Amino acid sequence: MALYAMTGGATGIGAELRQQLTARGDQVISVDIKEGDVIADLSTAEGRAAAVAGVTELAPDGLDGFIACAGLPPIARPLSLIAQVNYFAVVATVEGLKDLVAKRRGSVLIVSSNSAPMMSADDPFVTACLAGDEAAACAAVEERDGHVAYAGSKRAIVAWMRRNVVAYAKAGVRMNAVAPGITQTPLAESVFEDEELGQSMRDFQASVPWGGMAKPAHIANVMRFMLSEEADFVCGSVFFVDGGSDAMMRNDQF
Ligand code: NAI
C-alpha cells in the first residue's frame, strides 16, 4: 500500500486520480481549498506553508509520491492568482515535500497542460516565474491576458521541472509532468461557458485529432502509471495526453 499526497484532489482530474488510488488500497492525503485532509489556499505563502506542514504531520515516515494537481483556468481573476496557484504554489509545495518523497525514493508528478508549448520560454512572464520572483511575475501577468497567464504558468512549471530533474533524481526523487488536453472537468466547463474564451475552446476541441474531449479517467490512468513502480525509469518526462493535439500543432518538436 502506497502513501501519496496531492493538491487539487477535491474535483476533476485530481478527484478521479484520488479515487483510483484509494480504490486499489493506496492512501491519499488530499490538500485543497474546498475539502480534503488539509484545507489550504495555495495562492498564499501561508496556505502553502500550511499545506506542507499538514502533509508532513500526516506522513512523518515519507511519501511514495506527491501530485501537484491544483490549478486555475485562464478565466480566473485577478490574473496574478493563476500565476500564484499554477506556478508558485507548485514550486513551493514540491520543494517543501521533496525530502518526504526522497525518504521512500518516490516520485513527484506535476500537472501541466498541452497549452504550455504555446508560450515561449523567453516570454517576460515565463522568465519572471522561472526567476522565482513572484511579485514581478504577478505584476507582469496583470498586463497580459488569461491565455498568457494560463499557458505561461504551465510552460514555466514544465521548464522548472526539467531544470530541477537532475538535482531531484540525485536526491532520490523521480520528477515528471503530465500535459492534458481539454478534459471534462469543472475547470473546462467554466471556460466553455465564458463569453470571451468559450468559442476558441470549442474550436480547439473540434480540432482534436482523436476526437472529442478527455474524461478525467483518461488523464488519471496515465498519472497512476507514471507514479507506479512500473514507470520506475520515467524521469524528467512530459507526457502529453491530448488526443494528438500537441503532435498536430508542433509535429517536428518533441
Ligand atoms: P478542477 O477545477 O476540477 O480542479 C482543480 C482543483 O484545484 C480543485 O479541487 C480546486 O479546489 C483546487 N484549487 C483551485 N485553487 C486552489 C487554491 N487556491 N488552493 C488549493 N486548491 C485549489 O480542474 P481540473 O480540470 O481537474 O484541473 C486539474 C489540473 O489539470 C489543473 O492544474 C489544470 O490546470 C490541469 N489541466 C486541466 C485541463 C482541463 O481541460 N480540464 C487541461 C489541461 C490541464
ipTM: 0.99
Å from CA of 45 to ligand 1 middle: 19
pLDDT value of residue 53: 98
With CA atoms as reference, report the closest residue to 161 among 134, 121, 123. 121
Indicate the average pLDDT of the chain. 97
Rounded to a whole number of angstroms, the distance between the first and last alpha carbons of the chain is 35
Å from CA of 168 to ligand 1 middle: 25
**What does the pLDDT average to over 45-61?**
98
Which ranges in 84-145 belong to alpha helices (H)?
89-102, 124-130, 134-142
**For ligand 1, atom 8: residue with the closest CA:** 8
In order of start, what are the domains of the chain with their CATH numbers? Answer: 3-180+215-240 (3.40.50.720)
Å from CA of 6 to ligand 1 middle: 12
**Mutation test of ligand 1: which of 6, 7, 13, 150 has the most ligand atoms closer than 8 Å to its C-beta?**
13
> What 3-state DSSP class applies to 42?
coil
**Mutation test of ligand 1: which of 187, 194, 197, 204 has the most ligand atoms closer than 8 Å to its C-beta?**
187
Rounded CA-CA distance 12/216 in Å is: 6
Å from CA of 76 to ligand 1 middle: 11
Å from CA of 71 to ligand 1 middle: 4
Å from CA of 68 to ligand 1 middle: 10
User: Using one digit for the tens of pLDDT, what is the confidence trace for 67-80?
Assistant: 999 999 999 999 99
- Strands (DSSP E) contained in 118-249 are 174-180, 238-241
Q: Is 87 a catalytic residue?
A: no
pLDDT value of residue 214: 98
Under 8 Å CB-to-CB from 212, ≥6 apart: which residues? 205, 243
**For ligand 1, atom 41: residue with the closest CA:** 183
Around ligand 1, the residues with Cβ closer than 6 Å are 7-8, 10-14, 32-34, 40-43, 69-72, 85, 111, 113, 180, 182-183, 185-188
**For ligand 1, atom 24: residue with the closest CA:** 12
Percent of the chain with pLDDT over 90: 100
Could you identify the atom of ligand 1 that is nearest to the CA of residue 68?
Answer: 32
pLDDT value of residue 16: 98
Could you identify the atom of ligand 1 that is nearest to the CA of residue 190?
Answer: 2
Confidence at 89, pLDDT banded by 50, 70, 90: very high
Could you identify the atom of ligand 1 that is nearest to the CA of residue 112?
Answer: 44
**What does the pLDDT average to over 206-235?**
97
**What does the pLDDT average to over 136-158?**
97
Q: DSSP state, 118?
A: G
**For ligand 1, atom 32: residue with the closest CA:** 71
